Structures are given as structure tokens and as C-alpha cells.
Structure 1
Amino acid sequence: MDHDVTNKDHENKVQEKDVENQHVADDVTSIGHGDILQLEHTDPVLNAKMHLINDAIDEIGFTRYQWRLFVLNGFGYAVDSLILLIQSIIAGQAALEFKPGYHNGLTIAAYVGMLIGALFWGLTADIIGRKIAFNVSLIICSIFAIVAGASPNWEVLGLFVCLSAFGGGGNLVLDTAVFLEFLPSYKQWMLTLMAAWWGIGQLIAGVFAWAFIPNYSCQDPSVYPDAPPCTKSNNQGWRYVWYASGSLVFVMSILRITVIRLKETPKFLVGEGRDAECVETLQFIANKYNRPCSLTLERLQECGTVDKVSRNNKGKLGFGEVWLHLKGLYSTKRIGISTTLIWFSWTLIGLAYPLYNVFLPAYLSSRGAAFGQPSPYTTWRNYTLANFSGIWGPVLAGWMCGTKLGRKYTMVIGALVTMAFFFAYTQVRTATQNVAFTCIINFCLNVYYGTLYAYTPEVLPSAHRGTGNGIAIGWNRIMGILSAVIATVANTGTPVPIYICAALYILMAAVAIAFPFEPYGKRSS
């Protein structure tokens, strides 16, 4: 009884504090401590329940369950970057064999698949939950990645690239959301660290390319005039890359199902009015790892009924349900500004990143030729070194996010330093400088990118997190498609795309400063 009285007194104080601070609802910065969105006047019942869930997760603390999620969700990060880069790596050799009319078609196919995947898995995540996509997406990706290696022509290859990307495209939407919604507040910086898996995926792509393409590929007749015709029999390297990648992703998908039996996230359950399942999930984790958890069903139910549940009597998969989540992303002025700026940032990085990374092989090849190093072995070795460097950017970013720099200024620093090295890269004159600058740029741009990946789900309202994240990454993929068109017009062997990237990073830094929320020292909704 005393505990219930104390709890009610605590809730009354929280409500009184909200009233006292109502005049700051339109401020441009986060105020106070506790939950990021606590001063945003949305559904008060849901906010109260989210506060109790955050308390419970903090009380349970960090367990082996979260460690497993860090690795298994990290697989999704790795697969997304792996599939995206694999298509760019093998495109040149596949084109020698198939002689397509549009050489950047695979890039468009990959981004179309990832666009549809991000929107599909993102929108459905807020409707049917996070668990299904977590268990299914990598299996879909792996099957079509393996089949892509057996493609008989360019069009079929493009189709399988698209279908594989569809499966992989949902991972970036959900991996951060699932991990965040089980994560204690004092460990939220690990969301940024998890982006190191993105670099690991890039490294795997580079290693596969380095292992197979120089040794099992036909020669380019434009470089070697006496080269024999390129056929399937003498050009198996790019197919081996797909087989190896698809097999690795399949192993990852099996591990996701067997290593951990993912339970639906507590914050999704409470947003759906499934309070009993929410408490059951948290109590299960607490009991399994011998941790305390004082949350009870009675305490959640005392808060009332979530507004969405009390008025949502229509079919769950209707447009009205999607519209409900879209409106939730603009429920207050600051949340609306935050949502818009996040989507704009993803749009900018969606153009800058592929212009540099996806078309980096072409630029490296042209620079290598200029330095008297036309060897495919050297090109793919340098590519692997650059991708290895990308792993460590999110590691530094994770540490920076845990300091008073916070997420916003970590992104600002990452973007501006990347911009500086982009401009410097155009002055490279030696082979050693070429390798060094590509490694440094990959490191620095992943400081910004890794932090943006973590920042996005942290500041989105939990009930609408999948939708907001899916649309953000959807804009990213749309610009990836556009990058393929730009790369066709502006030769990627010239510095022009590098200058475009540098200018975009200046704009990204400015947008980061304007973000209305800073998650440092606060808890996500």
C-alpha cells in the first residue's frame, strides 16, 4: 500500500512539473532530465507508461540479453552495407559478361529494393510489431543473394539484387529500434557504437572482392586489347562474391532465430494496449538474469488507457492506421521540426554517401591508373583497407556521444572533418596519399553516419518509431537512386562527385546544429 501511495505521489509530481513547464513546450532545446519527450504534450497516459517502462529497464540494467541483441541486430547493419556494396563491386565484371545498355542499373535496382524494404518493414513495424521483421528479413535477403550469383543475364541479376535488397532494407529501420527499446538509458551510447557493424559489412564486401575478383575474372578489353571474350566460364569471380555473401547472410539469419528468441519490445506492446504482455516480457528478462523489476500490471493500468487503443476500432492494416502514425510524428511543434530535419538529414546523406562509397571503386581505379597501378589486386586491396577504416568511426562516435558533446555536436564535428578531407582528397598526387585519404574519409564520415543512425530512433516517439525511421531511410534510398543517375552524367572517375559530397556535408553540419532535441543525459520514449 505504501508503495502504491508513493508511486501516485511521484506521478502527481511529474504531472505538476509538466504543467509548470508548459510554457517551454515550444522551446528549441531539450529541458531538464529524464525522458527526452517528457515535456511534449502528446498522449499523457502513454507518456506515463513509457516513463514506468524506462524505469523498469533501467532497474533491470544491461544483461546478456542486450549483448546478444547488440550482435544479432548488428548483423542487420552489416548485411545492409554488404548488399549495397556487393552490387557496386560486381557491376563492372558482370557488365563485361552481359554488356548491358545501362551500366548503373544494378545500383538503381539495389536502392529500389531497399526503398521498398525500408517503407514496408518500417510502416508495418508500428502496426504488427518488430519481431516478425527481425526473424524474417535476413532469410529473404540471403535466399535472393545466393540466387543472384546464378543470374543468366543483366535483367535477372537486377531483379534478384532488388529482391535481396528488399529483405536487407528493413534491417536499418528495425535493428536500432529493437535494440534501443530494450536498452537501459545509461547504455544508449551503444546505439551509436552498433554502427560499427556497418563498417564490418563493408569490410566483408571488400574481402570477398579482394579474394575472388582478381583471381576469377575475365580481363577488360578496354585495358587489355588482346583479352579473350568475357563468358560465364572465365568470369566466375563476381558470382562467387554473391554465393559467399548470400551464404554468410543465411548463417546470420539462422543465428538470429536460434541464439535468441526475440520477444516483442515492451514499448511496442504498451503502445498497443498490451500491458500484461509488456510486464511479462520485462519480468521474464529480470528473472532470467536475476535482476530486480518492480513494475507490475497494476501500476501500468493505473495510468489509464492509451489514446490510440481507446479510439482505434478499425482494421490494423488500413491506411487510417498508417495516417495515425504519420500524424504522431507531427503531434507537437518541436517533434514536427525534429521529424522534418531528421528526414532532411537522411536525404542529404543519401546522396553524399553513395556518390562517394558506392562509386569509390570506379574513382579508385581511375586514380590507381593515374598512379601507374592498374592492377585489380591493388584496387581491391585499397578498397578493403578503406572499408576496414570505416569500422572505427562509430567506435569513436560512441565515445563522443557519451561526453558533453552529445549526439548533435558529434554529428557536427564528424560532418565538418569529413568535408575538410573531401576537399583535400582532390589534391592527392601519390598512391600512398590516395590510400591514406580514402581510409581517413571512410573513418570520418562514419562518425557522422553512425551517430545519425542512433540519433534518429532516440528522438522519435516510440509508438511511431518504425514509421519515422522507415520514411527517413526511404528518403535516403530515393537519393541513392538519384546518385546513380548523377554518376551517369558526372563521370565518377573525376573529382566532381567528391566536391558535391563535401558541400553536402557542410549542409549536414548546419542541420545537426538545428536539431531541437539532444538525447545526452536523457531517455528515449
Structure 2
Amino acid sequence: MAPQYDDTKAPKHVDALPRPINPQSDDETSSVGKGDILGAEHVDLVLNAKMHLVNNAIDEIGFTGYHWKLFVLNGFGYAVDSLLLLVQGNIASYAAKEFQPSFPKGLTIAVYVGMLVGALFWGLSADVIGRKFAFNFSLMISSVFAIVAGASPSWTVLGLFICLSAFGSGGNLVLDTAVFLEYLPSQSQWMITALAAWWGVGQLVAGLFSWAFLPNFSCATAATCTRANNMGWRYVWFADGALVLVMSLARIFVIKLRETPKFLIGEGKDAEVIDTLQFIANKYNRPCSLTLEQLEACGDSQAATSASHANFKFSPVEIFVHCRGLFTTRRMGLSTSLIWFSWLLIGLAYPLYNVFLPTYLATRGAEFGEQSQSVYWRNYAIANLCSIPSPILAGYMCRSKLFWGRRGTMIIGALVTMAFFFAYTQVRNNAQNLAFTCCISFCLNIYYATLYAYTPEVLPSAHRGTGNGIAIALNRVMGIISAVVATYANTSTPVPIYICAALYIVMALISAAFPFEPMGKRSS
């Protein structure tokens, strides 16, 4: 429902506060006047009032070319995250032939540790120093270490460079949704879900580079393996790193990102908010009637800022303040807890299926008949291609009453994925194997893409980076655990598939229990 304001508790200049507008429908195509998702939580009346005005202004400006640029450039972060995650899995066995390590799953742990630390570092810092810095430099960090990884002289050094590269990409993923969301008009919020199509693009690139280099430039056995005859996995890293470098440069030169208006509101920088919104409106010839006087009339900006930060920003207390802000009300606390639990579950299910899929499929070779390396990686690329359209479908589903909005889309995506997981255990030939792999790749990303979008949508702007960062960090923790499990368990059996299927049933139930539904409302 639309936010209600209690005049007995209102700040000064209460007459200037936005009054409740007619309750909005659940029509995602309407814009100005819709209620804010957290508007009824009474967290901070001054901040709520200002956020409501900023949302109206963003809706008034509408969707512009600036947003299309953000869709592409933020999508690069999605692509790089999935690209690096899959590349280390693809090249691990080839690098292991050359280095013969004692712990073959070390690269998987390295990439997840990097992503874990990156998610926490960039997520927490985004609520302290802003979104702009991470947007501009995290991919640059990732690209440099990805290129250097290709020149690694040992297994340990390779793991170190993969970890450092993942530190950039893992942290960047936290900001992709936040930056895009905090500029989007409400009628276009569904595009946060569609943004995950870039995740599939990264998977496809990982498959194509692996197909191009690994079959043709790799040694046959560990006994005959040297650097000279095993350059394939190094070429994969050089190519991936160069591509990420191009993406990082595009972020700096294609769009000169300004700090997001909603972050600036939480900082009490009302004048910069007006300047940013007017810049976009003037550049694309759109109306923007919001004035500095209207924002200042809502109340003291300093009071709103003090509620979002500790007395000294760069202190451990600052982290506590942002974490506490995610549990301000009972419904917000329940929402945050369920979101974090969902990320834990998918953090176990996704690696068991996707990261270890090459191992599982390779062990089925005796049943299916031996395939050439070229055919194997061709099929791998085809399966990854199928993950691109599903987030776009999910975007349309999550804005429709027919599919019950975001929560309904996640329920459907989880249950359909579960069904294909169970069916996958009955695969008996190559054609079935490829078909079911493509179906799972498609269906899995319906749930994953919607969860990625839902998480920042229902978090308060002042603490969005922290909440999103912790969610993704929990996901990475489970990735590390799954790598340890895979080391000591037999991943050639269907057991991981059954576990994944069961986890998706639980995720569907949690989705039904989420207390907030963003469809027809606006993020705070």
C-alpha cells in the first residue's frame, strides 16, 4: 500500500511532505504516484519523504539512453562474474596435468574466496564511500589479474591470481544491480531481472573460449605435459582477461557515472541529487520538476544522514550500523533473513550442478560413448547459450499478475528446475544429455535472475550495498564448502543432482514466504 505519514510524528515543514496518493494498482506499467516498497515501515520519516520525491522525479524523467548504457555496462559485471567462475572450472584439469597439484579443487576454493572477500569489501564500502568508485575500478582489477593468471608458473600462483581476479569481479556483482536499480524508473524495474541475461553471455564466452583453445592446445597425458605443449588453458585466461579489460575501459569512457541519487539522499547531499537528476533530464530533453526547496522542506538532511552512519564512517561501528539498518522493523528483519538463507541454499545448489558439471559429464562418457574434446566443449557452449533468454523471460514474468510477480516467478523457476534435475538422472544418451542440460540451464536462471533482482529491490538504499554484499558472500561461503565436499565425495554419481533438486524445493517454499512483493511498487 502507499506510504502513510503520521502528522503527530512528522518533521518540521510537514505541509511540504508528499501526501498519500491514491493507492496504486499492481500495474507495473504505471509510474508516478506508486507506493514505495518500504514506505509503510516508518523507518525514517524524513528519509522516506525525500525518497518518495526522488522516486517521483525518476519516474517523471522516465527511461532514457542513459539507462540503456547502464544496462549494458552493468551487465558486463554479471558477465565477468560468471565468466571467471566457469573458466577456472574449465581449465582446472588441464592446468593440473601440467602442475600435478596435491589438492585439485584448489582453484575452485581460490575463486570463491576471492568472490567472498570482494562481495564483503565492495558491498560494505559502497554504503560508505558510494557506488561510483567500485563501478569504475573493480573490473579493471579483475582484468589485470585474469591476464596475469595465464602466465602463472605454478598451481599456487595460479590460485592466487584467480583469487585476486575474483576479488574484483565478485565485488562488482554487488554493485551492478544497485547502481542500475537506483537510476531506474519504477515502470522499468523489471529490467533488473533481465540484466541477468548478461550472466548467460559470460557463460557462453567461457564455453566458446574453452572450445576454441582447450581441444587444440592441450597435452594428452600428465606424463608428457609441459608448458610448451599445454598452452590452451593459458590462452583461455589471456583471451578472457583481455575481454574484461575492454569492458572495464568501456565503463570509464562510454559513460561518466555520477553517484546514484538514492545514495546521495542517504548522505544528505540534496543539492547533488538535484544536479544529477537535472543532468539526465536536460541531456535527454525530459521533464524534472523536483527542486532543492522541496527536498529541504521535508526535514533536516543531517538527521537522516546520522541515522544511516556511525559517528565515524571508517570504523567497525559503521558495519554494525548498516547491518542493524537491515533489521529495523520485524518485516524487514524477516525479509533480510529469508533472502540471506536463499542465497546460502543456491550457493550450494549452483556449484554442485554448474561448476562440477564438466566432471559429471566426463564420467558419463563410458555410457554415452566417447566424445571428442571439440564436441564436448561445443555442447558445453550450446548449454550455456540457453541461459541467456531465460532472465529476459523472467523479467516479463515478474511484472505480470499471471505469474504472481517476483515471488511467483521464483517459485515457478525453482520448481521447474527441480523437475528437470530429477529427470536428468535418467539420461541415457548424448542427445538426451544435451537436451536436459540445455533445459536446466534455461530454467535455473529464471529463479537465479529473479533472486538477484529481488534482493536489492527490497533492501533500504542506505544499507543496500551491505545487505547485498552479505547475501552474495554467504553464497560464496557455500561455494567453498561445495568444493571441499566435491573433493571427498564421488561427483560421478547422481547424488549431487538429487541434492540440488531437493534444495530447489526448499527455495520455492522460502520464496512464497517473502514478506514483500515489489511488483507495482518502487524500491526505496
Q: Is the TM value for this pair above 0.5?
A: yes
Aligned equivalent of 2:52: 51
- One-letter identity of the residue aligned with 2:87: I
Instruction: Tell me which amino acid in the other structure corresponds to 2:247.
Output: M
Preserved CA contact (<8 Å) 1:141 1:166:
yes
In structure 2, C-alpha distance between the alignment counterparts of 1:15 and 1:443, rounded to whole Å = 40
- Give the distance between the partners of 2:197 and 2:366, measured in 1 at CA: 31
In the alignment, does 2:424 pair up with 1:425?
A: yes
Pairing partner for 1:319 from 310, 316, 319: 316
State whether residues 117 and 169 of structure 1, in contact with CA within 8 Å, keep that contact through their aligned partners in structure 2: yes
1:281-308, CA deviations, whole angstroms, 9 ceiling, x for partnerless residues?
A: 0011001111000111111011112434
Partner of 2:150: 149
| Structure 1 unaligned blocks of 5 or more | 1-6, 18-31, 222-227
The residue number in structure 2 matching 1:92 is 93
Match of 1:13 in 2: 19
Task: For residues 341-360 of structure 1, give each alpha carbon's deviation from its aligned partner in whole angstroms, at most 9, with x where no partner exists.
Answer: 00000000000001100111
Contact 1:365 1:374 in 2 (8 A): no
Asked if 1 retains the 8 angstrom alpha-carbon contact of 2:17 and 2:297, the reply is: no
Q: Residue 338 of structure 1 aligns with which residue?
A: 335
User: Which residue pairs with 2:235 in the alignment?
Assistant: 240
- Deviations 1:224-271, CA, capped at 9 Å, x for gaps: xxxx51110000000000000000000000000000000000000010
- Deviation for aligned residue 1:507: 0.4
Single out whichever of 397-406 and 139-148 deviates more from structure 2: 397-406
Listed as ranges, the matches of 1:97-108 within 5 Å are: 97-108=98-109
Match of 1:290 in 2: 285
Shift of 1:10: 7.4
The partner residue of 1:299 within 283, 287, 294 is 294
Cα distance in 2, alignment partners of residues 426 and 186 from structure 1: 41
State whether residues 345 and 475 of structure 2, in contact with CA within 8 Å, keep that contact through their aligned partners in structure 1. Answer: yes
Query: 1:181 offset after TM fit, Å?
Result: 0.2
Q: Which residue of the partner structure matches residue 23 of structure 1?
A: none
SS at match of 1:39: helix
Q: Cα deviation per residue 1:338-385 (whole Å; 9 max; x = unaligned)?
A: 000000000000000011001111112122342112421121111111
Q: 2:523 matched to 1:524? A: yes
Residue aligning to 2:459: 460
Q: 1:183 & 1:310 partners in 2: Cα distance?
A: 26
Shift of 1:11: 3.0
User: For residue 152 of structure 1, what is the amino acid of its counterpart?
Assistant: P
- How many angstroms apart in 1 are the aligned matches of 2:490 and 2:175? 35
Kept in 2, the 8 Å contact 1:142–1:164? The answer is yes
2:364 corresponds to which of 359, 362, 367 = 367
In 2 relative to 1, CA 93–48 (structure 1 residues): closer, same or farther, beyond 3 Å?
same
2:72 corresponding residue in structure 1? 71
Distance 1:210 1:333 in 2: 50
Tell me the CA shift for residue 12 of structure 1: 6.2
Looking at structure 2, the residues matched to 309 and 12 of structure 1 have their Cα atoms a distance apart, in angstroms, of: 20
Q: 2:270 aligns with which of 272, 275, 284?
A: 275
Secondary structure of 2:505's aligned partner: helix
How many angstroms does 1:196 deviate by?
Answer: 0.3
Specify whether residues 158 and 309 from structure 1 end up closer, same or farther in structure 2 by C-alpha distance, changes over 3 A only: same
Quote the residue 1:255 is aligned against.
250
Match of 1:411 in 2: 410
- Superposition pairs of residues 110-125 of structure 1, within 5 angstroms: 110-125=111-126
Q: Which amino acid aligns with 1:35?
A: D
1:506 and 2:502 correspond: no
What is the letter of the counterpart of residue 200 of structure 1? V
Output the amino acid matched with 2:203. Answer: Q
CA shift for structure 1 position 14: 3.1
**SS of residue paired to 1:522:** coil
CA contact (8 A) 1:368 1:431 kept: no
Match of residue 132 from structure 2: 131
Cα displacement string for residues 443-474 of structure 1 (whole angstroms, at most 9, x for unaligned residues): 00000000000000000011100000000000
Q: Map 1:159-238 onto structure 2 (within 5 A).
A: 159-220=160-221, 229-238=224-233
Is the Cα contact below 8 Å between 1:98 and 1:153 reproduced in 2?
yes
Deviation at 1:220, TM superposition (A): 3.4
- Separation of aligned partners in 2, 1:244 and 1:439: 25
1:328 is matched by which residue type in structure 2?
G
Identity over aligned pairs, percent = 69
Partner of 1:491: 490
Closer/same/farther in 2, CA of residues 162 and 74 from structure 1, 3 Å limit: same
Change (3 A) 1:52 1:33: closer
Q: Deviations over 1:156-212 (max 9, x none)?
A: 000000000001011210000000000000000000000000000000000000000
SS in 2 for 1:128: coil
Displacement of 1:320: 1.6
**What whole-Å deviation, never above 9, does each CA across 1:73-105 have from its counterpart, x for those lacking one?**
000000000010010000000000000000000
TM-score by length of 1: 0.93
CA RMSD of aligned residues (A): 1.6
Q: Summarize the Cα distance change of 1:422–1:269 in structure 2 as closer, same or farther, 3 Å threshold.
A: same
Q: Aligned in 2, Cα 1:302/1:15: closer, same or farther, shift over 3 Å?
A: farther
Q: Pairwise mapping of residues 396-407 of structure 1 onto structure 2 (< 5 A)?
A: 396-404=393-401, 405-407=404-406
Using the alignment, how far apart are the partners of 1:381 and 1:265 within structure 2? 41
- Which residue of the partner structure matches residue 28 of structure 1? none
Amino acid at match of 2:148: V
